[in-house]
Structure 1
Protein backbone atom coordinates (compact mmCIF):
# COMPACT_ATOMS: atom_id res chain seq x y z
CA UNK A 1 0.00 0.00 0.00
CA UNK A 2 3.06 2.26 -0.07
CA UNK A 3 2.97 3.03 3.65
CA UNK A 4 4.81 1.88 6.79
CA UNK A 5 1.62 2.18 8.88
CA UNK A 6 -1.56 0.14 8.38
CA UNK A 7 -4.65 0.19 10.63
CA UNK A 8 -7.89 -1.77 10.92
CA UNK A 9 -11.07 -2.15 12.95
CA UNK A 10 -13.76 0.03 14.48
CA UNK A 11 -12.41 1.57 17.72
CA UNK A 12 -13.99 0.47 20.98
CA UNK A 13 -11.87 2.88 22.99
CA UNK A 14 -8.53 4.54 22.24
CA UNK A 15 -8.34 4.01 18.47
CA UNK A 16 -7.82 1.50 15.69
CA UNK A 17 -5.35 -1.35 15.84
CA UNK A 18 -2.45 -1.41 13.41
CA UNK A 19 1.11 -2.25 12.42
CA UNK A 20 4.03 0.16 12.11
CA UNK A 21 7.41 -0.77 10.60
CA UNK A 22 10.52 1.39 10.79
CA UNK A 23 13.73 0.52 8.95
CA UNK A 24 17.10 2.22 9.01
CA UNK A 25 20.81 2.02 8.22
CA UNK A 26 22.55 -1.07 9.53
CA UNK A 27 25.78 -2.97 8.93
CA UNK A 28 25.10 -6.36 7.36
CA UNK A 29 27.50 -9.28 7.01
CA UNK A 30 27.07 -12.33 4.81
CA UNK A 31 28.50 -14.83 7.31
CA UNK A 32 25.21 -15.52 9.06
CA UNK A 33 25.57 -12.68 11.57
CA UNK A 34 22.17 -11.46 12.72
CA UNK A 35 21.16 -7.83 12.27
CA UNK A 36 18.09 -5.70 12.99
CA UNK A 37 15.97 -5.48 9.86
CA UNK A 38 13.75 -2.86 11.50
CA UNK A 39 11.43 -2.17 14.41
CA UNK A 40 7.94 -3.64 14.36
CA UNK A 41 5.17 -2.08 16.46
CA UNK A 42 1.69 -3.48 17.02
CA UNK A 43 -0.78 -0.83 18.08
CA UNK A 44 -3.10 -3.10 20.04
CA UNK A 45 -6.17 -1.10 21.02
CA UNK A 46 -9.63 -2.54 21.72
CA UNK A 47 -11.75 -2.73 18.57
CA UNK A 48 -15.16 -4.17 17.82
CA UNK A 49 -15.34 -7.81 16.81
CA UNK A 50 -14.19 -8.36 13.24
CA UNK A 51 -15.82 -10.73 10.70
CA UNK A 52 -12.44 -12.42 10.31
CA UNK A 53 -10.19 -12.51 13.38
CA UNK A 54 -7.13 -13.87 11.56
CA UNK A 55 -5.55 -12.31 8.49
CA UNK A 56 -2.21 -11.64 6.80
CA UNK A 57 -0.30 -8.39 6.33
CA UNK A 58 2.46 -8.23 3.72
CA UNK A 59 5.65 -6.23 4.29
CA UNK A 60 7.92 -5.25 1.40
CA UNK A 61 11.42 -4.06 2.36
CA UNK A 62 13.69 -2.22 -0.06
CA UNK A 63 17.36 -2.80 0.76
CA UNK A 64 19.98 -0.41 -0.62
CA UNK A 65 23.58 -1.63 -0.57
CA UNK A 66 26.68 0.55 -0.35
CA UNK A 67 27.45 0.17 -4.05
CA UNK A 68 24.01 1.52 -4.94
CA UNK A 69 22.48 -1.88 -5.74
CA UNK A 70 18.86 -2.19 -4.59
CA UNK A 71 16.98 -5.39 -3.81
CA UNK A 72 13.43 -5.94 -2.66
CA UNK A 73 12.47 -8.55 -0.07
CA UNK A 74 9.00 -9.43 1.17
CA UNK A 75 7.53 -11.12 4.23
CA UNK A 76 4.06 -12.10 5.34
CA UNK A 77 2.91 -11.48 8.92
CA UNK A 78 -0.01 -13.54 10.24
CA UNK A 79 -2.24 -11.75 12.73
CA UNK A 80 -4.58 -13.30 15.30
CA UNK A 81 -6.99 -10.67 16.69
CA UNK A 82 -8.05 -12.44 19.88
CA UNK A 83 -11.10 -11.47 21.99
CA UNK A 84 -10.41 -8.54 24.33
CA UNK A 85 -11.68 -10.49 27.32
CA UNK A 86 -10.97 -14.03 28.47
CA UNK A 87 -8.00 -16.04 29.73
CA UNK A 88 -5.68 -14.95 26.84
CA UNK A 89 -6.63 -11.48 25.60
CA UNK A 90 -3.20 -10.79 24.07
CA UNK A 91 -3.06 -10.69 20.28
CA UNK A 92 -0.53 -12.89 18.48
CA UNK A 93 1.68 -12.17 15.48
CA UNK A 94 3.82 -14.72 13.68
CA UNK A 95 5.15 -15.45 10.20
CA UNK A 96 3.90 -18.36 8.04
CA UNK A 97 7.38 -18.44 6.48
CA UNK A 98 10.54 -16.81 7.80
CA UNK A 99 12.33 -16.67 4.43
CA UNK A 100 11.94 -14.04 1.73
CA UNK A 101 10.99 -15.51 -1.66
CA UNK A 102 13.37 -13.04 -3.30
CA UNK A 103 17.16 -13.54 -3.34
CA UNK A 104 20.24 -11.46 -4.11
CA UNK A 105 23.51 -12.64 -5.64
CA UNK A 106 26.74 -11.35 -4.09
CA UNK A 107 30.14 -12.45 -5.47
CA UNK A 108 28.46 -15.33 -7.29
CA UNK A 109 26.67 -16.65 -4.16
CA UNK A 110 22.88 -16.49 -3.88
CA UNK A 111 21.40 -15.30 -0.56
CA UNK A 112 17.92 -14.91 0.89
CA UNK A 113 16.89 -12.86 3.92
CA UNK A 114 15.92 -15.10 6.85
CA UNK A 115 14.02 -13.69 9.82
CA UNK A 116 15.18 -15.19 13.12
CA UNK A 117 12.25 -13.72 15.03
CA UNK A 118 11.10 -10.82 17.19
CA UNK A 119 13.54 -9.56 19.81
CA UNK A 120 11.77 -8.65 23.05
CA UNK A 121 13.58 -8.05 26.34
CA UNK A 122 16.82 -9.45 24.95
CA UNK A 123 15.16 -12.69 23.80
CA UNK A 124 14.44 -13.66 20.19
CA UNK A 125 11.03 -15.33 19.90
CA UNK A 126 9.22 -16.79 16.90
CA UNK A 127 5.80 -15.51 17.99
CA UNK A 128 5.11 -11.92 19.05
CA UNK A 129 2.69 -11.75 22.00
CA UNK A 130 1.07 -8.31 22.16
CA UNK A 131 -0.78 -7.18 25.35
CA UNK A 132 -4.06 -5.27 24.96
CA UNK A 133 -4.48 -1.51 25.09
CA UNK A 134 -0.98 -0.40 24.17
CA UNK A 135 1.67 -0.01 21.47
CA UNK A 136 4.05 -2.98 21.73
CA UNK A 137 7.35 -3.00 19.85
CA UNK A 138 10.09 -5.48 19.01
CA UNK A 139 13.09 -5.52 16.73
CA UNK A 140 12.80 -7.82 13.72
CA UNK A 141 16.05 -9.81 13.74
CA UNK A 142 17.24 -11.23 10.42
CA UNK A 143 20.29 -12.58 8.59
CA UNK A 144 21.44 -13.29 5.06
CA UNK A 145 21.46 -17.06 4.54
CA UNK A 146 22.65 -19.01 1.52
CA UNK A 147 19.66 -19.77 -0.67
CA UNK A 148 18.19 -23.24 -0.78
CA UNK A 149 20.20 -24.96 1.95
CA UNK A 150 20.45 -25.21 5.76
CA UNK A 151 23.39 -23.96 7.80
CA UNK A 152 23.41 -25.47 11.30
CA UNK A 153 25.84 -23.93 13.81
CA UNK A 154 26.48 -23.66 17.55
CA UNK A 155 26.21 -19.99 18.47
CA UNK A 156 26.64 -19.87 22.25
CA UNK A 157 27.33 -21.90 25.40
CA UNK A 158 26.19 -20.90 28.89
CA UNK A 159 28.78 -22.85 30.86
CA UNK A 160 28.26 -21.32 34.31
CA UNK A 161 24.74 -21.93 35.51
CA UNK A 162 23.10 -20.07 38.37
CA UNK A 163 21.72 -23.24 39.98
CA UNK A 164 24.08 -24.32 42.74
CA UNK A 165 25.95 -27.63 42.43
CA UNK A 166 24.03 -29.10 39.48
CA UNK A 167 24.10 -26.02 37.21
CA UNK A 168 20.98 -27.45 35.59
CA UNK A 169 20.36 -24.17 33.72
CA UNK A 170 23.50 -24.50 31.55
CA UNK A 171 22.69 -24.69 27.86
CA UNK A 172 24.07 -24.78 24.34
CA UNK A 173 22.27 -22.77 21.64
CA UNK A 174 22.11 -24.00 18.04
CA UNK A 175 20.73 -21.99 15.10
CA UNK A 176 19.84 -22.77 11.50
CA UNK A 177 21.36 -19.82 9.64
CA UNK A 178 20.30 -21.21 6.26
CA UNK A 179 17.18 -20.60 4.18
CA UNK A 180 16.05 -24.25 4.06
CA UNK A 181 14.99 -26.64 6.87
CA UNK A 182 17.75 -28.78 8.40
CA UNK A 183 17.07 -32.32 9.66
CA UNK A 184 19.43 -33.00 12.60
CA UNK A 185 17.87 -36.30 13.70
CA UNK A 186 20.62 -38.51 15.09
CA UNK A 187 23.18 -35.70 15.24
CA UNK A 188 25.32 -35.60 18.38
CA UNK A 189 26.21 -32.63 20.57
CA UNK A 190 29.27 -33.42 22.64
CA UNK A 191 31.54 -31.89 25.27
CA UNK A 192 34.55 -34.17 24.53
CA UNK A 193 34.14 -36.25 27.69
CA UNK A 194 32.54 -39.67 28.19
CA UNK A 195 28.85 -39.53 29.05
CA UNK A 196 28.49 -35.97 27.80
CA UNK A 197 26.91 -36.62 24.42
CA UNK A 198 23.37 -35.63 23.49
CA UNK A 199 21.75 -37.31 20.48
CA UNK A 200 18.87 -35.50 18.80
CA UNK A 201 15.72 -37.63 18.55
CA UNK A 202 14.08 -38.66 15.25
CA UNK A 203 12.07 -35.90 13.60
CA UNK A 204 14.24 -33.03 14.88
CA UNK A 205 14.10 -30.40 12.13
CA UNK A 206 15.27 -26.80 12.46
CA UNK A 207 13.38 -24.31 10.33
CA UNK A 208 15.24 -21.38 8.71
CA UNK A 209 16.30 -18.93 11.40
CA UNK A 210 15.12 -21.20 14.21
CA UNK A 211 17.22 -21.46 17.38
CA UNK A 212 17.04 -24.23 19.97
CA UNK A 213 18.71 -24.81 23.33
CA UNK A 214 19.92 -28.02 24.92
CA UNK A 215 19.87 -27.65 28.71
CA UNK A 216 21.84 -29.67 31.23
CA UNK A 217 18.78 -30.64 33.30
CA UNK A 218 15.86 -28.30 32.56
CA UNK A 219 12.97 -28.44 30.11
CA UNK A 220 12.09 -25.27 28.21
CA UNK A 221 9.45 -25.98 25.53
CA UNK A 222 9.79 -22.50 24.03
CA UNK A 223 13.36 -23.32 22.91
CA UNK A 224 12.75 -26.91 21.81
CA UNK A 225 12.45 -28.73 25.12
CA UNK A 226 15.82 -30.53 24.80
CA UNK A 227 17.76 -31.62 27.90
CA UNK A 228 20.69 -33.88 28.77
CA UNK A 229 18.79 -34.89 31.89
CA UNK A 230 22.07 -34.80 33.80
CA UNK A 231 22.19 -34.25 37.56
CA UNK A 232 25.71 -32.91 37.31
CA UNK A 233 27.21 -30.06 35.24
CA UNK A 234 28.12 -30.80 31.62
CA UNK A 235 30.11 -27.75 30.49
CA UNK A 236 33.49 -26.81 31.97
CA UNK A 237 33.36 -23.66 34.12
CA UNK A 238 36.83 -22.67 32.91
CA UNK A 239 36.07 -23.30 29.25
CA UNK A 240 36.32 -25.93 26.54
CA UNK A 241 34.71 -26.69 23.16
CA UNK A 242 31.23 -27.84 22.20
CA UNK A 243 31.09 -29.95 19.04
CA UNK A 244 28.17 -30.88 16.80
CA UNK A 245 28.53 -33.93 14.55
CA UNK A 246 26.21 -35.37 11.91
CA UNK A 247 25.08 -39.00 11.66
CA UNK A 248 28.33 -39.92 9.89
CA UNK A 249 30.45 -38.42 12.64
CA UNK A 250 31.51 -35.43 10.56
CA UNK A 251 32.21 -32.26 12.53
CA UNK A 252 29.55 -29.73 11.49
CA UNK A 253 30.18 -26.98 14.06
CA UNK A 254 32.68 -26.32 16.85
CA UNK A 255 32.30 -23.56 19.44
CA UNK A 256 35.02 -22.62 21.90
CA UNK A 257 33.86 -21.02 25.13
CA UNK A 258 35.57 -19.64 28.23
CA UNK A 259 39.35 -20.09 28.05
CA UNK A 260 38.92 -21.85 24.68
CA UNK A 261 36.85 -19.04 23.16
CA UNK A 262 37.91 -18.15 19.64
CA UNK A 263 36.28 -16.85 16.46
CA UNK A 264 34.17 -19.58 14.89
CA UNK A 265 34.25 -19.76 11.06
Structure 2
Protein backbone atom coordinates (compact mmCIF):
# COMPACT_ATOMS: atom_id res chain seq x y z
CA UNK A 1 0.00 0.00 0.00
CA UNK A 2 1.26 3.46 -0.88
CA UNK A 3 -0.08 6.96 -0.35
CA UNK A 4 -0.09 8.96 -3.57
CA UNK A 5 -1.10 12.44 -4.70
CA UNK A 6 -2.65 12.90 -8.15
CA UNK A 7 -2.98 15.86 -10.49
CA UNK A 8 -3.80 16.15 -14.18
CA UNK A 9 -3.50 18.28 -17.32
CA UNK A 10 -5.31 18.11 -20.67
CA UNK A 11 -2.66 17.85 -23.36
CA UNK A 12 -4.41 17.43 -26.73
CA UNK A 13 -7.77 17.51 -28.52
CA UNK A 14 -8.28 15.79 -31.90
CA UNK A 15 -9.89 16.70 -34.28
CA UNK A 16 -9.87 20.27 -33.04
CA UNK A 17 -13.19 22.04 -32.43
CA UNK A 18 -13.20 25.84 -32.68
CA UNK A 19 -12.07 28.21 -29.95
CA UNK A 20 -9.98 25.78 -27.86
CA UNK A 21 -8.33 27.16 -24.72
CA UNK A 22 -6.56 25.70 -21.68
CA UNK A 23 -4.28 23.14 -23.31
CA UNK A 24 -1.65 21.83 -20.86
CA UNK A 25 -3.70 23.00 -17.87
CA UNK A 26 -6.22 21.31 -15.58
CA UNK A 27 -9.17 22.84 -17.47
CA UNK A 28 -9.68 22.72 -21.24
CA UNK A 29 -12.58 24.43 -23.04
CA UNK A 30 -13.92 24.64 -26.59
CA UNK A 31 -16.70 25.94 -28.82
CA UNK A 32 -18.42 29.25 -29.49
CA UNK A 33 -21.09 29.91 -26.84
CA UNK A 34 -24.63 29.67 -28.20
CA UNK A 35 -26.12 31.18 -25.04
CA UNK A 36 -25.06 32.83 -21.81
CA UNK A 37 -23.33 29.82 -20.27
CA UNK A 38 -19.91 30.11 -21.85
CA UNK A 39 -17.82 27.43 -23.58
CA UNK A 40 -17.97 23.71 -22.85
CA UNK A 41 -14.96 21.94 -21.37
CA UNK A 42 -13.34 19.39 -19.09
CA UNK A 43 -11.48 19.72 -15.81
CA UNK A 44 -9.68 17.21 -13.60
CA UNK A 45 -9.10 17.59 -9.87
CA UNK A 46 -6.63 15.27 -8.18
CA UNK A 47 -6.46 14.12 -4.58
CA UNK A 48 -4.41 12.18 -2.04
CA UNK A 49 -5.32 8.48 -1.92
CA UNK A 50 -4.11 5.09 -0.68
CA UNK A 51 -3.21 2.83 -3.61
CA UNK A 52 -2.88 -0.95 -3.36
CA UNK A 53 -1.58 -3.39 -5.98
CA UNK A 54 -4.18 -6.05 -5.10
CA UNK A 55 -6.96 -4.90 -7.44
CA UNK A 56 -8.62 -2.51 -4.97
CA UNK A 57 -10.43 0.24 -6.86
CA UNK A 58 -9.56 3.82 -5.88
CA UNK A 59 -10.71 7.28 -6.92
CA UNK A 60 -8.02 8.70 -9.17
CA UNK A 61 -9.59 12.16 -9.18
CA UNK A 62 -12.76 14.03 -10.10
CA UNK A 63 -13.73 14.65 -13.73
CA UNK A 64 -16.02 17.60 -14.47
CA UNK A 65 -17.74 18.49 -17.73
CA UNK A 66 -18.90 22.08 -18.08
CA UNK A 67 -21.70 21.44 -20.56
CA UNK A 68 -23.25 24.47 -22.27
CA UNK A 69 -24.86 25.01 -25.69
CA UNK A 70 -22.11 25.82 -28.19
CA UNK A 71 -21.45 26.08 -31.90
CA UNK A 72 -18.92 23.37 -32.65
CA UNK A 73 -18.04 24.27 -36.20
CA UNK A 74 -19.18 20.86 -37.46
CA UNK A 75 -16.89 18.94 -35.07
CA UNK A 76 -19.20 16.99 -32.78
CA UNK A 77 -16.95 14.03 -31.87
CA UNK A 78 -13.33 14.27 -30.78
CA UNK A 79 -10.73 12.82 -28.40
CA UNK A 80 -9.32 14.71 -25.43
CA UNK A 81 -6.07 13.46 -23.87
CA UNK A 82 -5.40 13.62 -20.13
CA UNK A 83 -2.06 13.09 -18.39
CA UNK A 84 -2.45 12.12 -14.73
CA UNK A 85 0.64 12.74 -12.61
CA UNK A 86 0.98 10.50 -9.57
CA UNK A 87 3.51 11.17 -6.84
CA UNK A 88 4.22 7.98 -4.87
CA UNK A 89 5.36 8.75 -1.33
CA UNK A 90 8.69 6.97 -1.86
CA UNK A 91 9.45 8.85 -5.13
CA UNK A 92 11.06 12.23 -5.65
CA UNK A 93 9.48 12.66 -9.09
CA UNK A 94 5.96 12.26 -10.47
CA UNK A 95 4.94 9.24 -12.53
CA UNK A 96 2.80 10.05 -15.56
CA UNK A 97 -0.14 7.98 -16.82
CA UNK A 98 -2.07 9.04 -19.94
CA UNK A 99 -5.69 8.38 -20.90
CA UNK A 100 -7.95 9.36 -23.80
CA UNK A 101 -11.54 10.57 -23.38
CA UNK A 102 -13.91 10.41 -26.35
CA UNK A 103 -16.45 13.23 -26.45
CA UNK A 104 -19.77 13.26 -28.33
CA UNK A 105 -21.36 16.71 -28.48
CA UNK A 106 -24.92 15.52 -29.11
CA UNK A 107 -27.57 17.68 -30.85
CA UNK A 108 -29.42 19.67 -28.20
CA UNK A 109 -32.79 19.18 -29.94
CA UNK A 110 -32.55 15.39 -30.29
CA UNK A 111 -34.26 12.63 -28.28
CA UNK A 112 -31.11 12.13 -26.15
CA UNK A 113 -29.59 15.61 -25.68
CA UNK A 114 -27.12 14.63 -22.95
CA UNK A 115 -23.52 14.74 -24.16
CA UNK A 116 -21.58 11.47 -23.89
CA UNK A 117 -18.08 10.90 -22.56
CA UNK A 118 -16.43 7.51 -23.07
CA UNK A 119 -12.99 5.96 -22.73
CA UNK A 120 -11.94 4.14 -25.92
CA UNK A 121 -8.84 2.80 -24.15
CA UNK A 122 -8.87 2.42 -20.39
CA UNK A 123 -5.30 1.23 -19.83
CA UNK A 124 -2.43 3.68 -19.51
CA UNK A 125 0.47 2.90 -21.87
CA UNK A 126 2.87 3.82 -19.07
CA UNK A 127 3.71 1.50 -16.17
CA UNK A 128 5.37 1.50 -12.76
CA UNK A 129 7.45 -1.20 -11.10
CA UNK A 130 6.34 -2.29 -7.61
CA UNK A 131 8.21 -5.08 -5.78
CA UNK A 132 9.69 -6.23 -9.07
CA UNK A 133 6.32 -6.42 -10.88
CA UNK A 134 5.24 -4.07 -13.66
CA UNK A 135 1.85 -2.36 -13.17
CA UNK A 136 -0.29 -0.04 -15.29
CA UNK A 137 -3.25 2.12 -14.29
CA UNK A 138 -6.65 0.91 -15.53
CA UNK A 139 -9.73 3.13 -15.41
CA UNK A 140 -12.76 0.98 -14.57
CA UNK A 141 -15.48 3.62 -14.77
CA UNK A 142 -17.10 6.91 -13.84
CA UNK A 143 -18.63 6.98 -10.34
CA UNK A 144 -21.63 9.24 -9.92
CA UNK A 145 -24.39 9.13 -7.29
CA UNK A 146 -22.83 5.98 -5.83
CA UNK A 147 -22.90 4.01 -9.11
CA UNK A 148 -19.93 3.20 -11.33
CA UNK A 149 -20.75 3.31 -15.05
CA UNK A 150 -18.81 2.69 -18.27
CA UNK A 151 -19.98 5.85 -20.05
CA UNK A 152 -20.68 9.29 -18.58
CA UNK A 153 -23.87 11.08 -19.68
CA UNK A 154 -23.70 14.83 -19.12
CA UNK A 155 -26.93 16.88 -19.00
CA UNK A 156 -26.96 20.20 -20.84
CA UNK A 157 -26.68 23.64 -19.21
CA UNK A 158 -24.65 22.79 -16.15
CA UNK A 159 -21.55 21.46 -14.47
CA UNK A 160 -21.56 17.65 -14.20
CA UNK A 161 -18.97 15.71 -12.22
CA UNK A 162 -17.98 12.09 -11.63
CA UNK A 163 -15.13 10.40 -9.82
CA UNK A 164 -12.67 8.50 -12.02
CA UNK A 165 -12.30 4.99 -10.57
CA UNK A 166 -9.11 3.07 -11.34
CA UNK A 167 -6.91 0.16 -10.25
CA UNK A 168 -3.22 -0.70 -10.51
CA UNK A 169 -2.98 -3.98 -12.44
CA UNK A 170 -0.15 -6.23 -13.61
CA UNK A 171 0.84 -5.50 -17.20
CA UNK A 172 -0.20 -8.01 -19.85
CA UNK A 173 -2.90 -9.99 -18.06
CA UNK A 174 -6.68 -9.84 -17.61
CA UNK A 175 -8.18 -9.88 -14.12
CA UNK A 176 -11.90 -10.72 -14.15
CA UNK A 177 -13.69 -10.27 -10.81
CA UNK A 178 -17.20 -9.99 -9.41
CA UNK A 179 -17.60 -6.58 -7.78
CA UNK A 180 -21.19 -6.75 -6.57
CA UNK A 181 -24.48 -8.62 -6.38
CA UNK A 182 -27.78 -6.73 -6.34
CA UNK A 183 -29.71 -9.56 -4.67
CA UNK A 184 -32.90 -7.72 -3.70
CA UNK A 185 -34.64 -6.46 -6.80
CA UNK A 186 -37.35 -3.82 -6.86
CA UNK A 187 -39.64 -5.74 -9.20
CA UNK A 188 -42.27 -7.55 -7.13
CA UNK A 189 -42.35 -11.35 -7.11
CA UNK A 190 -39.85 -11.98 -9.95
CA UNK A 191 -37.10 -9.54 -8.89
CA UNK A 192 -36.22 -9.27 -12.58
CA UNK A 193 -33.89 -6.32 -11.90
CA UNK A 194 -31.42 -8.31 -9.77
CA UNK A 195 -27.94 -8.43 -11.27
CA UNK A 196 -24.34 -9.48 -10.77
CA UNK A 197 -21.65 -6.98 -11.74
CA UNK A 198 -18.41 -8.24 -13.29
CA UNK A 199 -15.34 -6.16 -14.17
CA UNK A 200 -12.12 -6.88 -16.02
CA UNK A 201 -9.63 -5.00 -13.85
CA UNK A 202 -6.67 -6.25 -15.85
CA UNK A 203 -4.60 -4.60 -18.56
CA UNK A 204 -5.50 -7.16 -21.27
CA UNK A 205 -8.84 -8.19 -22.79
CA UNK A 206 -10.38 -11.46 -21.53
CA UNK A 207 -12.12 -14.08 -23.65
CA UNK A 208 -14.94 -15.24 -21.36
CA UNK A 209 -16.74 -17.40 -23.93
CA UNK A 210 -18.24 -20.41 -22.18
CA UNK A 211 -17.61 -19.02 -18.69
CA UNK A 212 -20.24 -19.85 -16.10
CA UNK A 213 -21.85 -17.56 -13.51
CA UNK A 214 -23.85 -19.44 -10.90
CA UNK A 215 -25.27 -19.43 -7.38
CA UNK A 216 -24.54 -23.10 -6.64
CA UNK A 217 -28.16 -24.18 -7.05
CA UNK A 218 -29.92 -26.02 -9.93
CA UNK A 219 -31.28 -23.72 -12.63
CA UNK A 220 -29.09 -20.80 -11.56
CA UNK A 221 -26.40 -21.06 -14.22
CA UNK A 222 -25.62 -18.42 -16.83
CA UNK A 223 -23.15 -19.25 -19.61
CA UNK A 224 -21.50 -16.48 -21.58
CA UNK A 225 -22.05 -16.99 -25.33
CA UNK A 226 -19.30 -17.69 -27.88
CA UNK A 227 -17.04 -14.79 -28.91
CA UNK A 228 -17.64 -12.88 -25.68
CA UNK A 229 -14.76 -10.54 -24.91
CA UNK A 230 -14.52 -8.46 -21.75
CA UNK A 231 -12.29 -5.52 -22.58
CA UNK A 232 -9.71 -4.21 -20.15
CA UNK A 233 -11.51 -1.96 -17.69
CA UNK A 234 -14.98 -2.95 -18.94
CA UNK A 235 -17.86 -3.41 -16.49
CA UNK A 236 -20.86 -5.65 -17.32
CA UNK A 237 -23.96 -6.91 -15.53
CA UNK A 238 -25.89 -10.16 -15.79
CA UNK A 239 -29.54 -9.48 -14.94
CA UNK A 240 -32.12 -11.97 -13.70
CA UNK A 241 -34.74 -11.13 -16.32
CA UNK A 242 -33.96 -7.74 -17.86
CA UNK A 243 -31.80 -6.77 -20.83
CA UNK A 244 -29.70 -3.59 -20.61
CA UNK A 245 -27.55 -2.96 -23.66
CA UNK A 246 -25.38 -0.45 -21.83
CA UNK A 247 -24.28 -3.27 -19.49
CA UNK A 248 -23.64 -5.84 -22.21
CA UNK A 249 -27.21 -7.11 -22.66
CA UNK A 250 -26.73 -10.27 -20.54
CA UNK A 251 -29.70 -11.89 -18.79
CA UNK A 252 -30.59 -15.22 -17.18
CA UNK A 253 -34.05 -14.88 -18.70
CA UNK A 254 -35.46 -16.31 -15.47
CA UNK A 255 -39.07 -15.75 -14.49
CA UNK A 256 -38.16 -16.09 -10.81
CA UNK A 257 -35.51 -14.64 -8.53
CA UNK A 258 -32.00 -16.12 -8.82
CA UNK A 259 -30.13 -14.59 -5.88
CA UNK A 260 -30.94 -15.24 -2.22
CA UNK A 261 -32.44 -12.22 -0.46
CA UNK A 262 -30.60 -13.06 2.76
CA UNK A 263 -27.27 -13.78 1.12
CA UNK A 264 -25.11 -16.50 -0.39
CA UNK A 265 -22.15 -16.76 -2.81
CA UNK A 266 -21.84 -15.96 -6.51
CA UNK A 267 -19.30 -18.06 -8.43
CA UNK A 268 -17.47 -17.38 -11.68
CA UNK A 269 -15.95 -20.42 -13.46
CA UNK A 270 -13.98 -20.45 -16.72
CA UNK A 271 -14.71 -22.61 -19.80
CA UNK A 272 -12.44 -25.41 -18.49
CA UNK A 273 -14.29 -25.55 -15.16
CA UNK A 274 -11.61 -23.78 -13.11
CA UNK A 275 -12.76 -21.40 -10.38
CA UNK A 276 -12.03 -17.78 -11.29
CA UNK A 277 -13.70 -15.78 -8.53
CA UNK A 278 -16.31 -16.13 -5.80
CA UNK A 279 -18.17 -13.31 -4.09
CA UNK A 280 -20.11 -13.54 -0.84
CA UNK A 281 -23.11 -11.20 -0.58
CA UNK A 282 -25.80 -10.33 1.94
CA UNK A 283 -25.99 -10.99 5.66
CA UNK A 284 -25.77 -14.78 5.30
CA UNK A 285 -22.76 -14.99 3.02
CA UNK A 286 -20.57 -17.99 3.92
**Structure 1 segments of 4+ aligned residues over 6 angstroms from their partners:** none
1:260 shift after superposition: 4.9
Residue aligned with 1:27, SS? strand
Q: Is residue 29 of structure 2 the alignment partner of residue 10 of structure 1?
A: no
d(CA) in 1 for partners of 2:56 and 2:151?
A: 21
On the 8 A contact 1:241/1:260 being kept in 2, the answer is no
Which residue is equivalent to 1:188?
A: 212
Q: 1:136 to 1:259 in 2, by over 3 A?
A: closer
On the 8 A contact 1:115/1:142 being kept in 2, the answer is yes
Residues 143-222 of structure 1: matches in 2 within 5 Å? 143-222=167-246
1:259 shift after superposition: 4.5
**TM-score, normalised by the number of residues in structure 1:** 0.93
Q: 1:110 to 1:129 in 2, by over 3 A?
A: same
d(CA) in 1 for partners of 2:193 and 2:224?
A: 19
d(CA) in 2 for partners of 1:192 and 1:149?
A: 28
Residue aligned with 2:246, SS? helix
On the 8 A contact 2:67/2:159 being kept in 1, the answer is yes
Q: Is residue 51 of structure 2 the alignment partner of residue 28 of structure 1?
A: yes
Alignment match of 2:282 (pick from 254, 258, 263) = 258
| Aligned positions, number | 262
What CA RMSD, in Å, does the superposition of the two structures yield over aligned residues? 1.7
Structure 2: segments with no counterpart, 5+ residues: 1-22
On the 8 A contact 2:150/2:235 being kept in 1, the answer is no
Deviations 1:58-109 (A, max 9, x none): 1111101121253110011112223333333322211221111101110111
Would you tell me which structure has more strand in proportion to its own residues?
2
On the 8 A contact 1:186/1:199 being kept in 2, the answer is yes
Which residue is equivalent to 1:138?
A: 162
